[in-house]
Structure 1
Amino acid sequence: MITTTLLVKNMVCHRCILAVENILKNNLIPFRKVNIGEIRLMVAPSRNEKERLNKELNTIGFEIIDNNTGQLIEKIKTLVIKMARNEVDEEVNRINMSTYLSANIHHEYTYLSGLFSFIEGRTIENYFIEQRIEKAKELLTYGQMTLSQIACELNYCGVSHLSKQFKIITGLTPSLFKNQGIAHRFPIDKI
């Protein structure tokens, strides 16, 4: 059976998936599956259905991506977020990000990197680091893991590497951040 896929900007977590599923159900739009950044519909929506869906998605901070460049950028972001937050299989963690992105998007990394930098005004690597630091901030806020455990969880080579990147991105040491708390956290889609 044919499935129509719509790419959705700013979907970054499981709660996003639940919110989009809820919108689809409330609008009686049959779907197969909702993943981070995409909706797989059973049938192609009419123009009116797509506009109505996009309007509903906009109310919670999402939007349907219609152009190929936007879709490509959103795919890159989704894959980078998964890798940065260590939400990929262990064998994926052993390969470098350029190989991971190229294999999943089916484009040369140099093309993806150039396009991302042009559109986003920053490199894929910077985006990756920002996402990892945001996850570190989340884990520090919970207070259930040591800095060493957080470094290991996020695949840093050591605490000093994590601390150095943390200080560069936030302007604070991890310890100082932990003492100041949640006031310095950002939503993933705002990074």
Structure 2
Amino acid sequence: MMHLYIKNMVCNRCITAVRNELTQLGHTVGEITLGEAEIAAEPSVQELKTIDSSLKKLGFELIEDRKSRIIEQVKNEIIYLVHHSNDVLLTNLSSWLADKVNYDYTYLSNLFSEVEGTTIEKYYIAQRIEKVKELLVYNELSLAQIADMLGYSSAAYLSSQFKKVTGLTPTFYKSVKENKRRSIDQL
């Protein structure tokens, strides 16, 4: 199996889109995860160009250099942890990420900051805040439940971090989003 490394895959729909595109291009597809796809045979240079061109039309891109692959793997692990997993970190982010990506955290941190212009920690916080926004809009959980679910030490700490990142309190954010929603009879 040949591994293709793909940038901008963030959800299950991305996995489906990549699988469909590779299949349409005539490749036998194996396992696909965020940022990575297996195909049965090693493609020629021209086939790789065709794959890349097709994926770009969908908003994805093949990653060829090692540093970019590492960065994308870091992002994908964080996205999976925050958005697709029910696991809460039992250790610190640096240890968890170093184990997942199989690189020293100092190396990962320096590389990420150099390439992305932000720290891994800020990226992680941004992903968590996006998840908080999503959960607030669903209006099914209290702020304390959301804090617990995402591994915050308290609802107050979550609220403080939310305001620092967005400029809004979670309560105000939720009220603004609710006011923008219209009931079905108003449509």
TM-score above 0.5, yes or no: yes
Question: One-letter code of the match for 1:120?
Answer: E
Cα distance, 1:88–1:139 mapped onto 2, change above 3 Å: closer
Cα distance, 1:107–1:12 mapped onto 2, change above 3 Å: same
Residue in 1 aligned with 2:156?
160
Aligned-pair distance for 1:105? 1.8
Query: TM-score, normalization: structure 1?
Result: 0.89
2:19 is equivalent to residue 11 of structure 1: no
Runs of 4 or more off by more than 3 Å in structure 1?
A: none
Whether the 8 Å contact between 2:81 and 2:87 is mirrored in structure 1 is no
2:171 is equivalent to residue 175 of structure 1: yes
- Structure 2 CA distance, aligned partners of 1:88 and 1:4? 30
Residue in 1 aligned with 2:49?
51
- Which gives a bigger RCO, structure 1 or 2 (Cα 8 Å, sep 6+)? 1
Cα distance, 1:62–1:86 mapped onto 2, change above 3 Å: closer
User: Cα deviations across residues 100-150 of structure 1 (Å, max 9, x unaligned)?
Assistant: 111122211011101101111111000000000000001111111111111
Residue in 2 aligned with 1:129?
125
1:29 pairs, out of 27, 30, 33, with 27
2:123 is equivalent to residue 119 of structure 1: no
Cα distance, 1:83–1:70 mapped onto 2, change above 3 Å: same
Residue in 2 aligned with 1:20?
18
- Percent identity over the alignment? 41
Question: One-letter code of the match for 1:171?
Answer: G
Whether the 8 Å contact between 1:163 and 1:173 is mirrored in structure 2 is yes
Query: TM-score, normalization: structure 2?
Result: 0.90
- Structure 1 CA distance, aligned partners of 2:53 and 2:86? 32
- Structure 1 CA distance, aligned partners of 2:38 and 2:118? 30
Aligned-pair distance for 1:84? 2.8
Alignment size in residue pairs: 178
Structure 1 runs not aligned, ≥5 long: 183-191
Instruction: Please identify, of 123-132 and 35-44, the stretch whose mean Cα deviation from structure 2 is larger.
Output: 35-44
Question: One-letter code of the match for 2:150?
Answer: L
CA RMSD, 1 decimal: 1.4
Whether the 8 Å contact between 1:86 and 1:154 is mirrored in structure 2 is no
